[in-house]
Structure 1
């Protein structure tokens, strides 16, 4: 795809600032997924910068009720939302214990739509730190309500790309993934027509350097032992299979409107360089910090301003070595499969993501071997069989289908993909039992 005035505008553009509710004083922020890794680090950042940010509402799944109540009390939020209605009594008790009898507790919203409700509430910025495609509805609600969206939930963009693109206004989305926050910052150094290539870095996960055969017997414990980042189990296993990097390639394509053949993945074990932009004059700009998600979160919440001391900086007085390696696509086929479904568009990315989530869960409970994750996902994608749309004239890149995509289409595709992944997993277990 070549850049031209007729090309669609990128979703994320550091040169544009969407600020419909600019006002003096701290920004009002809603944090979705507050008890997860992104949410807890965001709260740490907010508490260290009370003059910049004020949290008005929190949402969480409901698995860590005591922590959620503690967060609500420390931040003095007005609303707390939980997806699990069964934990409401325990949450109310925990909140009462935190606030005491003389102080009213926050409003409690509960149910599968609770996060979507608070995403549309009065605030300046919504930080979507939910894991999984359940983050799509809150993403759409925040955009439709006119909020700035600090997006850490990559899956909502993956499964609902056309829906998100239809709603988002220029500058309304600020990416929070470390890789996309890095690209976002590096892109500020040039114009869109100056960009030759995006280079997304990957740590390589715990299995860097292993062949496909050597990956056959790895355990769940092995896959959860990430050498660089501390993340939730699903994201950590996605890092082990490099599915996360495949999702990030699709996300980069959607965020920055750069064709797949101009998005490269390179392995960088130290995770110091979070991604790079190569410009047409041969210059490459790299965004680098020690591994710490508070930096990208601060970009998401504070842009176009930077938050002083949001995250640690390098000590340049100490020697260090930075390495870069090509990606082994045979051992880790997930990135090329992600490019394939990204080019197909429509519901194909949703099928890829949903099948992967099911297979990761099967691997975690011992029902599927490590290599079986991508084998099963590949088969589900093949059976889904979304036809490739016609190539854009003279550009060699398929045009984006799915402009009439609906949330129902996405949910239907995900339901089918999950069911088919479970069926294939069960068939594999039966075949092995009779072998």
Structure 2
């Protein structure tokens, strides 16, 4: 099989690390040519040198000089700002890994959808904010969209070549996060330190807080609706603390198939990068069911974790509501991490803004519309955050 070149968007994050591990395990089949990061020039420079990339770009336009200094003598080209990120995306590559966190990854993901490209998608917000537009663009361009999130990747593998009308429902699993067994009162008094203690994964702060609130699972359900073309009523969530079963597909004949693996993003990354021929897994990444604890499942408690219910309601309402929900949640999580609101304030802020009148806001048809919705929702969230009652929420 010929060497595949990779553009890695979000190269310094947790998904980026997983992808780099898989590439290092399969040097005869994979090579990273371009890396993109957020604002940490030193970290991106280290990744660029270690992977042998030819081009490195930072989203932060003010960090360009720092990146050039960090790469001095390496021969690696670099740039910073929006134009540099889009230049990175336009460079030749067989696979583009889209792992920039949050709505910030939407424009780069959309630009990456070129003929013949394979997109390994770990930026769920691209589909949450503009699912219809992204999937339509992918189909029109002939780009192949592969899910790199563990849950969606498991469902994708389970489906194989089964037709859409053979599916009765899909179930995504959630670990339950650090507060799974906590009382509502204890959750209300939890601070960032407690929320950032995910039981199974080492991830960035924002997604870890989303996992604690179960908002992450709600965003993943919205992503699955567009990725697999199902109706909202066909999607379900189960809490599964062991995180061995990542997804379940129930077929119309009553049979159920499960996607199982150790809880490690490198498994999904290996599948996406080796889509036309399985790759070797990093060491010790194989599942041993006999040596693990019993597998348990439970329904999510929407009273203690209202964020999941808000996400499901946004999906059911449709239009621009998922994009609004995502924008406000990003604002709310940032406020919580900064100590401006308490943990219940995250869901409270999302609920308050989503309840406002946005008119007949249709589902965004392109990046510009999605970003306009995002901007409007963030302004409304900022206004509420500036008012004293929210600080105590």
Q: Deviations over 1:62-96 (max 9, x none)?
A: 22x23322221222221111112322222222212
- Report if aligned partners of 1:351, 1:414 keep a CA contact under 8 Å in 2: yes
TM-fit CA distance, 1:44: 1.4
TM-fit CA distance, 1:214: 3.2
Q: CA RMSD in A?
A: 2.0
Match of 1:230 among 202, 206, 209: 202
Q: Secondary structure at the match of 1:378?
A: helix
Partner of 2:13: 36
Q: Secondary structure at the match of 2:325?
A: helix
Q: Secondary structure at the match of 2:36?
A: strand
- Report if aligned partners of 2:270, 2:280 keep a CA contact under 8 Å in 1: no
Of 208-217 and 220-229, the range deviating more from structure 2? 208-217
1:183-194 equivalences under 5 Å are 183-188=155-160, 190-194=162-166
Q: Deviations over 1:366-420 (max 9, x none)?
A: 11110111011011011044559xxxxxxxxxxxx53x72322222221121121
Partner of 2:80: 110
Distance 2:206 2:392 in 1: 25
Residue 246 (1) aligns with residue 210 (2): no
Q: Taking structure 2 as the reference length, what is the TM-score of the superposition? A: 0.94
TM-fit CA distance, 1:45: 1.1
TM-fit CA distance, 1:171: 6.5
1:31-430 equivalences under 5 Å are 31-63=8-40, 65-96=41-72, 99=74, 105-144=75-114, 146-169=116-139, 172-188=144-160, 190-310=162-282, 312-385=285-358, 387=360, 402=363, 405-429=365-389
Aligned residues: 390
Distance 1:202 1:432 in 2: 29
Larger Rg: 1
- Report if aligned partners of 1:117, 1:138 keep a CA contact under 8 Å in 2: no
Distance 2:121 2:188 in 1: 34
Assess, with a 3 A threshold, how the Cα gap between structure 1 residues 317 and 271 changes in structure 2: closer, same or farther.
Answer: closer
Assess, with a 3 A threshold, how the Cα gap between structure 1 residues 277 and 50 changes in structure 2: closer, same or farther.
Answer: same
Partner of 1:3: none
- Report if aligned partners of 2:121, 2:145 keep a CA contact under 8 Å in 1: yes
TM-fit CA distance, 1:184: 0.3
Of 409-418 and 237-246, the range deviating more from structure 2? 409-418
Of 377-386 and 243-252, the range deviating more from structure 2? 377-386
Distance 2:391 2:229 in 1: 44
TM-fit CA distance, 1:345: 2.6
What residue ranges of structure 2 are gaps of 5+ in the alignment?
none
Distance 1:210 1:349 in 2: 28
Q: Secondary structure at the match of 1:383?
A: coil
Assess, with a 3 A threshold, how the Cα gap between structure 1 residues 210 and 87 changes in structure 2: closer, same or farther.
Answer: same
Q: Deviations over 1:271-315 (max 9, x none)?
A: 111111111222211111111100111122211322122460123
Q: Taking structure 1 as the reference length, what is the TM-score of the superposition? A: 0.85
- Report if aligned partners of 2:340, 2:391 keep a CA contact under 8 Å in 1: no
Distance 2:134 2:128 in 1: 9
- Report if aligned partners of 2:155, 2:248 keep a CA contact under 8 Å in 1: yes
